[in-house]
Amino acid sequence: MKPEPLTKEKIRTHLEQDEEGRWVIHISGIRTIDVKSAVQWLLEEIEKKDEEVSNALKEILDGKRKDTNVNRGALYGWGEALFWVKQKIRKAFSGAIE
């Protein structure tokens, strides 16, 4: 199965009132396989962006692309941020993706 986002069509919801009369949306019926697919899709998208950033940084370091300290610093920052996000996603969804 190809990883794909978790769309609203895959989530069953129903509306009901709570004890205080407020309307509340309850989510039910989310399949583990759909969550796993969505998380895998998200990680793949992050990997694509990480590869773009790495390639751009490599081009700068190899002298194939014009360099500025701002560009290089921004690319290093992007790389670190993407790494951090991937780790947090893997930790948050460890039960679903392993």
- 2, part of any domain: no
pLDDT profile of the chain (98 residues), mean per 10: 86 86 84 90 96 91 80 90 96 85
- 87, part of any domain: yes
- 67, part of any domain: yes
Q: Considering the entire predicted model, what is its pTM?
A: 0.75
- 3, part of any domain: no
Domain count, the chain: 1
- 57, part of any domain: yes
Domain that holds residue 19: 8-97
The CA distance from 51 to 49, in Å, is: 5
